Structure 1
């Protein structure tokens, strides 16, 4: 068979393939995919996807923000290509992908923290991890019961959603099975948690720290106004201010902040596509700089080469 005939057959096969009615597959530089993400990661995911689309104008992301379990379910049902979460898939969730002969992928992108926020008028901004556990077991119900507490009134715990990663993380950490009897209020988003705490001096809010940790973002300054971030000590009986840590970059990276958690990108992508391109951008390219900028701790630091000249 001559080279001309071979080329002709390949051309015909390509034409037939393009006319089979199926849309072309996306690739790392082009296409449109749906991403599901826990709402507490909205600032992080927004900046990562926006930066990636700025490099590749033909890459488009439709992001759906849901409580973590719903975000994972969207990915399992093939309603989303990937999900940003605080945990890996369970055995039952992996089985869903296995039944469809899909090899899922998981990549740790960063270390995040659940930030505890209080009203600016509340000066009880230090708490031990043991005290926080007692709040969730119902042993501590009043601000005045905290060590050195000078705020009166009951403690109102404020979360963004009944199924949020923030709430699930805290309940899992303290092995809490039943929240009946706890004074818990749920808002619709992390931003509404911030607004509620700003208006209620007795509130103790729980949010993803990336909402208030980007020092260069005007929105961060707006959201942080009239709030205090609680310092938490892993010690039962701390003796000095240095025993308390906040959920910001250094204390997250050095694993000093007790309520730190991972950020994962879970994917069901079956070809070298846009989801893989985004993950590679985060862990192998300048995406880690965005994580730094947001005050989180990237899993893979961005390597900077500096040339010194005499």
Structure 2
């Protein structure tokens, strides 16, 4: 005869042990391993932020997957990554995927970044207006000779890292472009490959995330910046001096002078106070903002520095 009381006790004990085991396996802000998806244009930024965090917490580990923006967001939505670094917030359709699964999620803006326009040093042109950039994307301008003061000749090639990249998405959205079939757009596989292509092709304009070239202390930035010009861009229809042009570096990102600036966001689907939340807090409200500043970007919440003066 089965002892029902003992059977129930055994089941409850098993469930209790299973629950304890599940809780023990949950990551915390200081311990565990999670996967992060990130837009490839933010690779230098994400590498430095996660490396610094793991330096503080040796038991914390991040598996980072770099993909074009759309693919990176999709990776997070299907639960193959805990959070994603991206250049935009989720769309209503993307938000609905989390809502359907009753996942509240979290979106944190951590910095202002810029899409940098780069040309080869062999190209003597380093200034361009927003109107001229718009002309390149509408097809109104196809030749270097059509741009004011240009010393370069031949057709203009626009070079991006990927068909689904945040850099291309940003520029198309900026000028309300839906059809690129007639434009001279060339895509490669990474921001680094954009740099390499532009370096050897004077007729090309490359579009990259500025954090690839904005850290003056980073050997990679120095290597990539070699033989390149970062174009100055003016919002004036008829610029008259160099003071009308701005580059995508820290001060002009923060003062909102540079036209092609955008936010950097972390979108999380984390359902408990875990490693993802720890990283977000570090990046947005702790010394992580100093890394953002070091990279030449503008942090959403500047690091609070207190200076005491004594007589």
The TM-score bracket by the shorter chain reads over 0.9
Aligned to 2:53: 52
| Structure 2 CA distance for partners of 1:245 and 1:21, relative to 1, 3 Å | closer
Return the offset for 1:259: 0.2
- How many matched pairs? 299
Aligned to 2:231: 230
Return the offset for 1:308: 2.1
Return the offset for 1:307: 2.2
- Cα distance in structure 2, aligned partners of 1:22 and 1:295: 40
- Cα distance in structure 1, aligned partners of 2:149 and 2:196: 26
- Cα distance in structure 2, aligned partners of 1:285 and 1:19: 32
Aligned to 1:262: 263
Aligned to 2:6: none
For 1:132, what is the secondary structure of its paired residue?
helix
- Cα distance in structure 2, aligned partners of 1:271 and 1:13: 24
Return the offset for 1:304: 1.1
1:135 aligns with 2:136: yes
- Cα distance in structure 2, aligned partners of 1:34 and 1:70: 14
- Cα distance in structure 1, aligned partners of 2:230 and 2:182: 26
- Cα distance in structure 1, aligned partners of 2:182 and 2:291: 41
Aligned to 1:151: 152
Using the size of structure 1 for normalisation, the TM-score is 0.94
Aligned to 1:245: 246
- Cα distance in structure 1, aligned partners of 2:150 and 2:24: 62
Return the offset for 1:19: 6.4
For 1:72, what is the secondary structure of its paired residue?
helix
- Cα distance in structure 1, aligned partners of 2:75 and 2:16: 34
For 2:162, what is the secondary structure of its paired residue?
coil
Aligned to 2:181: 180
CA RMSD of aligned residues (A): 1.5
For 1:27, what is the secondary structure of its paired residue?
coil
For 2:25, what is the secondary structure of its paired residue?
coil
Alignment of 1:271-310 (within 5 A): 271-310=272-311
* Unaligned 5+ runs, structure 1: 1-11
* Unaligned 5+ runs, structure 2: 1-12
Aligned to 1:9: none
- Cα distance in structure 2, aligned partners of 1:204 and 1:16: 61
Return the offset for 1:75: 0.5
1:116 aligns with 2:99: no
Aligned to 2:79: 78
- Cα distance in structure 2, aligned partners of 1:65 and 1:291: 19
- Cα distance in structure 1, aligned partners of 2:296 and 2:256: 14
Aligned to 1:204: 205
Aligned to 2:193: 192
Deviations 1:98-140 (A, max 9, x none): 1111001100000000000000011111110011000111111
Return the offset for 1:262: 0.2
- Cα distance in structure 1, aligned partners of 2:186 and 2:297: 27
